[in-house]
Structure 1
Amino acid sequence: MNNILTLAAIYRQSLFYFAIRAMTILEPQTKLSRNWHQKAIAYQLMQCFLGLCRRLIINQPPKTLKTHLVSISYVAWLLMHDPSLRIAIICYDEALASTQLRKIRQLLRSKWYMALAPATRIRKDKDTETLFETTAGGEVRALSVQGGITGHGFDVIIIDDPQKASLAHSETERRHLEELYASAIANRWRNPAKGVLIVVMQRLHVDDFTAYLLRLRKDTVHLNIPAVAPVDMTFHLDDDEVYRFREGELLEPERLSDVVLEELRTAQGEVHFQAQYMQAPVKTGGCPINPAWFRTYTELPKYDYRIISIDPAFTENGGDFSAALVCDVVGDDVYLVHGEQVQCDYPNLLRWIETLDKTWKPDLFLIEAIGAGKGIWGLLRERDFHHVGTIETHNGLPKLRRMEIVSPMIEAGRVFVPANAEWARQFLRLIGSFPYGPSDDWPDALSQLLIRLRDACMRAGQHRCRRFPPDPPPQQTSLRYGMHYRKYWL
């Protein structure tokens, strides 16, 4: 009995040990490896509970238990001490916020928690997917950036990953989040003098939501935890205990080893790795591609399939070029075989495309389905070009962002150019000067090609583009070759 009472006292007093015990209830099959950074987070959350900190930002790498510690365990722990608290959990996606709410509800209804906090009970008549109220008048509400912010006033607001990583480079999306905070979140306190804001997220951009909040209030406590210590760092684990995070030391050696981190760095590219794992985003206003990342070849290997990516424009004298890149896909690698840029009117543009088709015999023509490309695609289909495919506009992503998306593929050495071709030298010069160079037509043709290949891998649910389902639908059959497309998912 004494041991039970002692443990209960520890759980009530220590958020860290409470979170460890909570994990055994929510995910009994998961073995929680204890680490110093969990204590550092729990300590700062305790400062918020004691009223010593009202603005806290926690930045740490993905999948390092930030949501379990902050958005689930801390909320349940707060309600144990004060079931009348009103708490909001805000995520980018409502489904994610609702999932966190379900886990809190599961924890509050566990026998362990009910014995630990007999005064904290959920009202049966106020229990929905996005909201539950306690019998003491408190509530926990799941909200999303997309769905809008509702509620009459909160004591604690937790913002957990408020932005998708794929949209963090969109200035429009970043400004939208800032405006949402200023107009709908910053004024949602039940008592503005005591309201607590906690933001937990991975860094995504040099001007992301973390940067905005740090500019907004100088008294914000910033807990910044990288995957590898760039310099010697000190973290408080308790009032009388600190941890020395030495330069070069790994945050979680068992999960994020040197090998794993290097694989992530290669897959994501240096820009994204520095932001998401090192919590040190770098400014990317210039060209996201280093021409030195392209590898060269002198002999072409046998290809799996051939694609021509075209960025069309209707111009004859001056103006934009129509650009084409002929590429061979060999396993996971892309070999740029030939490149052309022309300035011509509509009839000559069609003849140019037909010439490319006869000369290079591609398995797939790729044309972006906007502007000039949409009309050309329809006309070519009428002329029995059944191997013409389109690529969507990717939710209006700007050209620079599209190139940033594919930069990890190039940086990983998966894109090859011919060693001694004059067009290749001109191509690399344009890539190196993008987006400020004289022409962005070849860069656009390249980014749409690599995005299409990346999306094909994702749709296939595989990591290698060369693996395709054996029996594509009849409409995907190549009429010219009388065979199924091997690039079914393209």
Structure 2
Amino acid sequence: MHGFIEEHWSILEPKRPFKTGWALQAMCMHLEAVTEGRIQFLLMTVPPGMMKSLLLVFWTAWEWGPRGMPHLQVLATSYSQPNVLRDNLKLRRLVESEKYQALWPLQLRADQNAKGKFENTENGFSEARPFSSMTGGRGDRVKIDDPHSTETAESDAERETAVRIFREGISDRLNDITSSAIVIIMQRLHSKDVAAVALSLGIGFVHLNLPMEFEAARKESDGSVSGGPCRVEVDGELFFEDPRTRDGELLFPERFPAAEIARLKKAKGSYAWAGQYQQRPTPREGGMFKRSWFEVVDAAPATTRKVRRWDLASTEQSAGGDPDWTVGLLLSECAGTYYIEDVQRDRLSPAGVDRMLKSTASQDGRTVKIRLPQDPGAAGKAVASHHVKWLVGYDVRATPETGSKEVRATPVSAQAEAGNIKLVRGAWNEAFLEEVSMFPNAPHDDQVDALSGAFAELLQMSSYSLANVA
């Protein structure tokens, strides 16, 4: 199928050069397995720009022509009626092209040759319908291309309607329930979208999941962590495995180079990037914090009760990578109200982290307490000892952390909900709010961890108890 696409690409895209890579070949390989009857229900979750729509157009033309299956009857659908009609016209244009006809002289019926549905003389047809109108009609192939739109997936009502249509209106659209196939190809837009439901039902969907950037450890929408590449088994044997091994390796660098990915990440924001490009959607707001809880003020009251709490990492930013951040959060307290006065945040080498610690301490002054995390084990103690010595002359201490990040954040969450934690206006505000509102499902939680540690330290220093400030 991949060779067929390359050979006939210019018919549908005469001005755009054909670019390929292992990811496109993997998608073709899975569709070939559907044609061969090895996969009946296929779900492919891939980022935008991965030729999702064109791939399904070429697949039908390939089955009708090179695979000698012109009798196949196809129902094609998408959330967008204009899009699915556009792609049906592309299929008709490809099949009627001189190049295609020279090899596979498939004739279309004159009495059923509309843009919404056309038939060939071998009893095959391709019918395009919007996803909202899938009642009636059956096919040997049901092709679902993005059942949600980016505009409506956030709406519970719209999303649940799409899920209901999938559950009630798709499964019985098959000509033969034992051999007809359903193929879904989509970008993830919500933790409860059609892809999530298709997998949760346990009805046999084979899942090809291709994030734009490789993640050795993935934080899923339920907060769990899974690791390693996507692995697909068919007939009890390994059929495909994502060949990437390094964090940040790109899915399709031939079309999306590192510079373009960096631009896209900035434009999209972490929420959209996590779902649409990394295929791990998270709730727009996590369960522990909401943006509206954090009032932004122009300044904090004068107080000597301040602590700069650090959450340390030591990996520099690299092309295509998404390492953790080194974060230093300055928290002060006055009469039971807490003020996040500043957040220093960067991705640095170990030497860069040392410089950042020293320069920030110098700016804060010697009255501000400095608290560092101490990782378990001898190596963690050695690193903590190094940092304490590096900050000689300051009130600095390293302490082990106990309990999960969520447990440590719980007291902070209660105070934030009560309106007792405020932000001092600064350029860092938006990045902080975006991370904290998605916690614990955000790609990074360094700022939340720093906040939890600073809050715990101020409580220990304070004459207030949790009961006093609740």
TM bucket (normalised to shorter chain) is: 0.5 to 0.7
CA distance in 2, matches of 1:114, 1:107: 9
CA contact (8 A) 1:60 1:226 kept: yes
Secondary structure class of the residue paired with 1:39: helix
The C-alpha deviation readout for 1:443-488, integer Å capped at 9, x for no partner, is: xxxxxxx9xxxxxxxxxxxxxxxxxxxxxxxxxxxxxxxxxxxxxx
**Aligned: 1:198 with 2:183:** yes
Specify the alignment match of 2:268 in structure 1: 268
Secondary structure class of the residue paired with 2:151: helix
Q: Percent identity between the aligned chains?
A: 26
The C-alpha deviation readout for 1:187-227, integer Å capped at 9, x for no partner, is: 11111111200000001111111000001125211000011
CA contact (8 A) 1:235 1:245 kept: no
Aligned counterpart in structure 2 of residue 76 of structure 1, from 61, 66, 72: 61
Alignment of structure 1 residues 322-333 onto 2, 5 Å: none
- Pair 128,240 (structure 1): closer, same or farther in 2 beyond 3 Å: closer
Deviation at 1:292, TM superposition (A): 8.9
The C-alpha deviation readout for 1:109-141, integer Å capped at 9, x for no partner, is: 0111112212x2211110112110111111100
Specify the alignment match of 2:198 in structure 1: 213
Secondary structure class of the residue paired with 1:136: coil
Specify the alignment match of 1:233 in structure 2: 229
CA distance in 1, matches of 2:85, 2:242: 35
TM-score (norm 2): 0.57
Aligned counterpart in structure 1 of residue 87 of structure 2, from 100, 122, 128: 100
Deviation at 1:258, TM superposition (A): 3.1
Deviation at 1:174, TM superposition (A): 1.9
**Aligned: 1:86 with 2:82:** no
Alignment of structure 1 residues 380-419 onto 2, 5 Å: none
CA distance in 1, matches of 2:242, 2:96: 35
CA distance in 2, matches of 1:206, 1:240: 26
**Aligned: 1:167 with 2:152:** yes
Aligned counterpart in structure 2 of residue 224 of structure 1, from 190, 209, 221: 209
CA contact (8 A) 2:23 2:252 kept: no
CA contact (8 A) 2:137 2:173 kept: yes
CA contact (8 A) 2:20 2:254 kept: no
Alignment of structure 1 residues 145-184 onto 2, 5 Å: 145-146=131-132, 148-184=133-169
Secondary structure class of the residue paired with 2:167: helix
The C-alpha deviation readout for 1:156-203, integer Å capped at 9, x for no partner, is: 000001111122122212211121122222111111111200000001
CA contact (8 A) 1:237 1:243 kept: no
CA distance in 2, matches of 1:162, 1:270: 22
- Pair 122,204 (structure 1): closer, same or farther in 2 beyond 3 Å: same
Secondary structure class of the residue paired with 2:91: helix
Specify the alignment match of 1:247 in structure 2: 246
CA distance in 1, matches of 2:299, 2:96: 63
- Pair 198,102 (structure 1): closer, same or farther in 2 beyond 3 Å: same
Deviation at 1:30, TM superposition (A): 0.8
Unaligned runs of 5+ in 1: 1-14, 299-422, 427-431, 440-449, 451-490
Write the letter of the residue equivalent to 1:124: A
**Aligned: 1:185 with 2:170:** yes
Secondary structure class of the residue paired with 1:75: helix
Aligned counterpart in structure 2 of residue 66 of structure 1, from 52, 64, 72: 52
Write the letter of the residue equivalent to 1:29: K
Alignment of structure 1 residues 282-297 onto 2, 5 Å: 282-283=282-283, 284-286=285-287, 287=289, 289=291
Secondary structure class of the residue paired with 1:244: coil
CA distance in 2, matches of 1:183, 1:237: 28
Deviation at 1:229, TM superposition (A): 0.7
TM-score (norm 1): 0.55
CA contact (8 A) 1:89 1:159 kept: yes
Write the letter of the residue equivalent to 1:282: T
- Pair 145,259 (structure 1): closer, same or farther in 2 beyond 3 Å: same
Write the letter of the residue equivalent to 2:28: A
Specify the alignment match of 2:467 in structure 1: none
The C-alpha deviation readout for 1:251-290, integer Å capped at 9, x for no partner, is: 1224333333233222222111111111111233434649
CA distance in 1, matches of 2:20, 2:13: 15
CA distance in 2, matches of 1:221, 1:186: 16
Secondary structure class of the residue paired with 2:43: strand
CA contact (8 A) 1:62 1:276 kept: yes
CA contact (8 A) 1:236 1:243 kept: no
Write the letter of the residue equivalent to 2:161: H
Which structure 1 residue ranges, 4+ long, deviate > 4 Å from structure 2? Answer: 234-243, 290-298, 423-426, 436-439
- Pair 297,33 (structure 1): closer, same or farther in 2 beyond 3 Å: farther
Deviation at 1:145, TM superposition (A): 2.0
CA contact (8 A) 1:234 1:245 kept: no
- Pair 290,75 (structure 1): closer, same or farther in 2 beyond 3 Å: farther
CA distance in 2, matches of 1:166, 1:236: 31
**Aligned: 1:127 with 2:123:** no
CA contact (8 A) 1:60 1:225 kept: yes
Alignment length (residue pairs): 299
CA contact (8 A) 1:143 1:150 kept: no
Write the letter of the residue equivalent to 1:83: P
CA contact (8 A) 2:208 2:232 kept: no
Specify the alignment match of 1:258 in structure 2: 258
CA contact (8 A) 2:140 2:180 kept: yes
Secondary structure class of the residue paired with 2:18: coil
RMSD: 3.7
CA distance in 1, matches of 2:295, 2:17: 40
CA distance in 1, matches of 2:140, 2:8: 23
Deviation at 1:295, TM superposition (A): 10
Specify the alignment match of 2:277 in structure 1: 277
Write the letter of the residue equivalent to 2:271: V
Secondary structure class of the residue paired with 2:128: strand
CA distance in 2, matches of 1:35, 1:68: 16
**Aligned: 1:29 with 2:15:** yes
CA distance in 1, matches of 2:208, 2:169: 25
CA distance in 2, matches of 1:133, 1:268: 41
